[in-house]
Chains A and B, each alone.
Chain A
Amino acid sequence: AQKVTQAQTEISVVEKEDVTLDCVYETRDTTYYLFWYKQPPSGELVFLIRRNSFDEQNEISGRYSWNFQKSTSSFNFTITASQVVDSAVYFCALRGGGSNYKLTFGKGTLLTVNP
């Protein structure tokens, strides 16, 4: 069974602060895929990143960076110099290997960036 834990329910920061959203996952699959999605107040799910289990390189995209560590089963997401527009719920999700194509989501972290 797949499981994703986002222990931080809510985080509040002031604009320009850096913030890290934690994600811990559980799976028995040796091959798996991790995702982050953003859900702004308007409600849609916006894809941010996908990471394969066999690629542990960290990734940076503008102000966003992701730290994947298989040893601790974590896939953390950092926003540098946060902005008000970053305010949203962020979901971490896991897709197993093989023919199991569904995504298992964490409960999400509500990030509020105050001006």
Chain B
Amino acid sequence: EPEVTQTPSHQVTQMGQEVILRCVPISNHLYFYWYRQILGQKVEFLVSFYNNEISEKSEIFDDQFSVERPDGSNFTLKIRSTKLEDSAMYFCASSDGTGVVYGYTFGSGTRLTVV
């Protein structure tokens, strides 16, 4: 069964450093998403991406965040200057269309720890 692959599975970084979280969505999917889950809390939407541009973003997704699809397979989330409160599990997801036919496939997540 096709998977969404995220790397690394766990990243520790110092406050103020830039981090790039990487995702390889399912190859024939067109819509890509990043979600965040602070430990013990609910999963929160960050951003959706379609046709090489952001289609929607949440209030959380401020100027510190950016997304990119640098080639035909990768989808990245960059946090420019990490803060302690950025510590969370970050999930990448993809969907072939609008998600209502085959749903959304999530990756296993990257646990980001900012120290």
Which A residues have a C-beta under 8 Å from some C-beta of B? 33, 35, 37, 42-45, 47, 50, 52, 91, 93, 95, 99-108
Q: Does B105 contact A (CB under 8 A)?
A: yes
Chain B neighbourhood of A99, CB < 8 A = 55
CB contact between B100 and one of A33, A47, A93 (< 8 Å): that residue:
A33
**A104 near B45 (CB under 8 angstroms)?**
yes
**B99 near A101 (CB under 8 angstroms)?**
yes
Q: How many A-B residue pairs have CB under 8 A?
A: 59
Given A101-B48, A101-B98, is A106 in contact with B103 using a C-beta cutoff of 8 Å?
no
Which B residues have a C-beta under 8 Å from some C-beta of A? 31, 33, 35, 41-45, 48, 55-56, 58, 89, 91, 95, 98-100, 103-109, 111
**B42 near A101 (CB under 8 angstroms)?**
no
Given A44-B108, A106-B42, is A95 in contact with B56 using a C-beta cutoff of 8 Å?
no
CB contact between B103 and one of A42, A43, A47, A104 (< 8 Å): that residue:
A47
Closest 7 pairs (CB-CB, A-B):
A45-B106, A44-B108, A102-B45, A105-B43, A107-B42, A105-B42, A50-B103
**B103 near A105 (CB under 8 angstroms)?**
no
Chain B neighbourhood of A50, CB < 8 A = 100, 103
**A101 near B105 (CB under 8 angstroms)?**
no
Chain A neighbourhood of B91, CB < 8 A = 45
**B99 near A95 (CB under 8 angstroms)?**
yes
Q: Bound state CA distance, A101 and B94, in angstroms?
A: 11
Closest to B57 in A: A102
Indicate the member of A35, A44, A91, A104 with the most B CB atoms within 10 Å: A44
Indicate the member of A42, A105, A106, A107 with the most B CB atoms within 10 Å: A105
Chain B neighbourhood of A100, CB < 8 A = 56
Given A104-B45, A105-B42, is A47 in contact with B89 using a C-beta cutoff of 8 Å?
no
